[in-house]
Amino acid sequence: AQSVSQHNHHVILSEAASLELGCNYSYGGTVNLFWYVQYPGQHLQLLLKYFSGDPLVKGIKGFEAEFIKSKFSFNLRKPSVQWSDTAEYFCAVTRYGGSQGNLIFGKGTKLSVKP
Amino acid sequence: DSGVTQTPKHLITATGQRVTLRCSPRSGDLSVYWYQQSLDQGLQFLIHYYNGEERAKGNILERFSAQQFPDLHSELNLSSLELGDSALYFCASNPELAGNNEQFFGPGTRLTVL
């Protein structure tokens, strides 16, 4: 069965620090990859997605992620975090093609940014 | 605003009761997904409907059921509620059957079972 692992449960950074959140998935076939963000009390919003092509994907708010197929990884990065980035971040996958489009989520990483 | 609406926003009920959560997808989206977010289980897929038909089931309990109506809105019915059913329930929509597209999430319904 597909699964998604996020290595860090809670990350605490100071403003302007660089961020990297790890995500690994297990699935032998082709996948679509997503990072969603959930700000406190709000719904999930898409940060970025990868379906095919350039493995370095740029998203909103200065976030980017790199798909490394050989490592089954899709790590999220941001060079300089802001206090407003405090949120929970979820990595997710869907199977490419087929008839099942449900997202498989990781457990999430809480990011706290100190001003 | 994602264009997906969910009602009610909050629901407080007692064990053994039955509740219905409602979701209206974005205009034109045929797929509706239901997810449960709880502290211990994280975000889990429950069920997927496409154009009125059930397409996939995830970790959905037998006490839970869903349907999608001709106007494409969906309802999730939770019965014989237990304390452990307290969670945030999200629905999401996208235009297609498969996963090659972004899912747009609603604001969620927070269910508290006392």
What are the pLDDT digits (tens) for A5-37? Answer: 998 999 999 999 999 999 999 987 888 999 999
What are the pLDDT digits (tens) for B64-101? Answer: 999 999 999 999 999 999 999 999 999 999 887 665 67
A68 neighbors A88 (Cβ within 8 angstroms): no
- Name the nearest CA neighbour of A22 among A36, A4, A43, A6: A6
Among B56, B96, B100, beta carbon nearest to A102: B56
Query: What type of residue is B105?
Result: F
B32 neighbors B68 (Cβ within 8 angstroms): yes
Low-confidence spans in chain A with pLDDT less than 70: 96-100
Distance of CA A74 to the CA centre of its chain: 7
For chain B, what is the radius of gyration of the CA atoms? Answer: 13
Q: Which residues of A touch B44 (CB under 8 A)?
A: 105
Interface membership of B38 toward A (CB under 8 Å): no
Alpha-helical segments (H) within chain A: none
For an interface test with A, the pick among B32, B43, B53, B55 (most A C-beta atoms closer than 10 Å) comes out as B43
